[in-house]
Amino acid sequence: MPLTDLERLDPASYLELRAHMETLEHHYRDLCDIEFAIERGRLWMLQTRVGKRTAEAAFAIAAELADEGLISVDEALARVSGDGLARLMFPRFDTSAVGEPLAHGIPASPGAAVGAVVFDSAEAVRRAAAGEKVVLVRQETTPDDLPGMVAAEAVLTSRGGKTSHAAVVARGMGKVCVCGAEQITVDPRERRFTVGGTTVREGEVVSVDGSAGTVYLGAAPLVDSAVMRYLETGAHGERSAPLVDAVARALRRADDVRRLEVRANADTPEDAARARRFGAQGVGLCRTEHMFLGERRKLVEEMILARDDIERARALEALLPLQRQDFIGILEAMDGLPVTIRLLDPPLHEFLPDRTELAVRVATASARGELPEPHDVELLDAVNRMHEENPMLGLRGVRLGLVVPGLVAMQVRAVAEAVVERVRAGGDPQAEIMVPLVDTVEELRLAREEVDAVLAEVGKATGVPVRCAVGTMIELPRAALTAGRIAEEAEFFSFGTNDLTQTVWGFSRDDVEAAFFSAYLDKGIFATSPFETIDRDGVGRLVEIAVAEGRAARPDLKIGVCGEHGGDPESVHFFHAAGLDYVSCSPFRVPVARLEAGRAALEGAGDSDSR
């Protein structure tokens, strides 16, 4: 019965109940659930508890209680959460209008999207260009799928987890993603997937809920996010004004009290501009390898296949202006704020066609009695020559720069020339150069000598002094344990916690999540995946050692984190306590990190939720 009906039927009990409700709310300083009964005109209060609430209600109630003076603005901030904010930032389905899910998977990137199923990147791009909304369905994604992921509304994979390629890239782009939907059998050759007795063919429409990890057949009705509209444009809708105002107030208070800076992982000017709108204070990770995909891969192939230094230099020279233009755009979007640019990290064979695919093409041509394409033969020879049993621990990162002549010089020159151009345009570029996968101080010293030489050369040639801080990623256990030595050559550290977690645990991220993580979670070996939330006892201990020893050697050492943990609410609290200067995460997690950095500061000061 609504309370308005009780007021009409029994005014005395109604007034007594309202008085008790006000007493309880003032006592608990919160929304309360109560149970009561009325017997022969007498009101009985049976029990009360602090009421459960949705994410929307949590923000609204905290703001109202602060307005009423029942709690402080700091306690209002402590009563909301980054997880709740993330749920408010993306579209969702009208749950009253959807039926039973077709499949369940891992909620890898939040939001909801509807589109026609496609099974390869080219088809996703073709249909999207024609104005059709699509969902890219794959067993798992690779860098080759990037154009299709950009074109798609959502990504659905049958393998992988929250830190798989699909999940990490989708979160960075703000795309809906469900990974590890193991009930789904994907058949890209027949262009269909099956779930139990249901077959979904290319072109059929599905709805993907990246917040819940569910997939529905057909088009489910979408509800837009007023919070995202506010973060993107600053606009308040009339109907959503109280909620948006409550979120804005919480973020402002978090910004006032937090010590941690929040930067973004951004590889394009568009990502950098969006991150700045979301409140990012710079770019903590710009992955230059993403600039070598698409049409530019041909130039990378030419560099790899070069028969001598002259051919290699010609390929690098063709790449240089493209990289320079990318850096100009990002530095312009983040003018006056730091932009940390990581030199090339992955092994070069990742930029070549798939080994099996090449071998099949060459073998098929030979079986038909035809001569294989010479370029295919040349590529297959290069792939076989560069093949590694464990490429994650092979020729990549700083090792690549030390053994491939001209690669580091080309990238650093592109950064330096971009800085010069922005200075000449009246800008304030704050580029930083980060050397990846360093194991020893000697590696960093050699890399830094080349970096400094190129910066000086460009400065002398242009008449514009080029000053870029040079630092390194700490993503290997040995680097963490010898951080004091490495700090002699590094002006900043950035923890690459994705690879650090892999090497500390001995896990191959793309394999273990599908192979046995669900069993480990069920058996209580760990409560959450160490790729989602920082492993404080192992990985976290190495972080603490590296922070202490790095700062002992260089007190002004700037330290941050650029792995996906930088946007995880619980991990942000750890990084605050460990004394880091900043966290960096995908643009769409920046507001979450801002909120949690503020909550961590209050928690550290002992001024948190006092209920």
96 & 48 share domain:
no
Question: Same structural domain for residues 212 and 127?
Answer: yes
pTM of the model: 0.86
d(CA 107, CA 104): 9
Q: What b/e sequence results for 258-278 when a residue is b if at least 16 CB atoms lie within 10 Å of its CB, and e otherwise?
A: bebbbbbbbbbbebbbbbbeb
Q: How far is Cα 225 from Cα 406, in angstroms, rounded to an integer?
A: 47
Counted domains in the chain: 2
Residue of 276, 272, 336, 285 whose CA lies nearest to 493: 285
One domain for residues 215 and 98: yes
Whether residue 171 is found in the same domain as residue 119: yes
Which amino acid is it at 471? G
Q: Is residue 100 part of a domain?
A: yes
Domain end marker among 173, 204, 223: 223
Q: Which of 179, 286, 562, 585 is catalytic?
A: 562
Residues 121 and 32 in one domain: no
Known active-site residue 349: no
- Residue 32 and residue 107 in one domain: no
3-state secondary structure 274-311: HHHHCCCCCEEEEEHHHHHCHHHHHHHHHHHHCCCHHH
At 208 the three-state DSSP class reads strand
Within-domain flag for 62: no
Of 321, 322, 323, 318, the C-alpha closest to 344 is: 323
At 399, which amino acid appears? R
Residue 214 belongs to a domain: yes
By the 10 Å C-beta count (0-12 exposed, 13-18 middle, 19+ buried), 63 is classed as buried
In terms of domains, do 202 and 123 share one?
Answer: yes
387 noted as active-site residue = no
Instruction: Report yes or no on 287 lying in a domain.
Output: no
- pLDDT value of residue 322: 93
Residue ending a domain, choose from 223, 243, 274: 223
Cβ–Cβ < 8 Å for 501, 531 = yes
Domain extent for 41: 1-52
pLDDT at 337: 98
Q: Which of 417, 413, 488, 418 is nearest to 453 (CA)?
A: 413
3-state secondary structure of 36: strand
> Nearest-CA neighbor of 264 among 278, 284, 250, 245?
284
Q: Decide if 413 is inside a domain.
A: no
Give residue 520's pLDDT: 87
Q: The domain spanning residue 7 has which CATH number?
A: 3.30.470.20
Boundary-marking domain end, from 223, 244, 278: 223
Domain membership of residue 435 (yes or no) is no
3-state secondary structure of 584: strand
Rounded distance, CA 508 to CA 540, Å?
Answer: 19
pLDDT along the chain (611 residues), means of 10: 85 92 87 89 90 90 94 96 92 83 92 96 95 96 88 94 84 89 94 94 96 93 91 74 94 97 96 96 94 83 87 91 96 98 89 85 88 88 85 90 93 97 98 97 97 98 97 98 98 96 89 80 88 95 98 98 93 98 95 98 64 37
Cβ pair 74, 257 in contact under 8 A: yes
Assigned token pair, 122: 């080219």
Q: List, in order, residues 6 or more apart from 515 with CB less than 8 Å away.
A: none
- Residue 192 falls within a domain, yes or no? yes
Do residues 114 and 214 share a domain?
A: yes
DSSP 369: T
Q: How far apart are the first and last CA of the chain?
A: 30
* Same-domain check for residues 101 and 218: yes
18 and 111 fall within a common domain = no
Q: Which residue has the tokens 């896990």?
A: 507
Residues 36 and 96 in one domain: no
CB 231 within 8 A of CB 277: yes
Judge contact between 162 and 509, C-beta under 8 A: no
Asked whether residue 409 is domain-assigned, the answer is no
CA distance 611 to 609: 6
Same domain assignment for residues 123 and 41: no
154: CATH: 3.50.30.10
Quote the CA–CA distance of 166 and 144 in Å, as a whole number: 11
Q: How far apart are CA 464 and CA 329, in angstroms?
A: 19
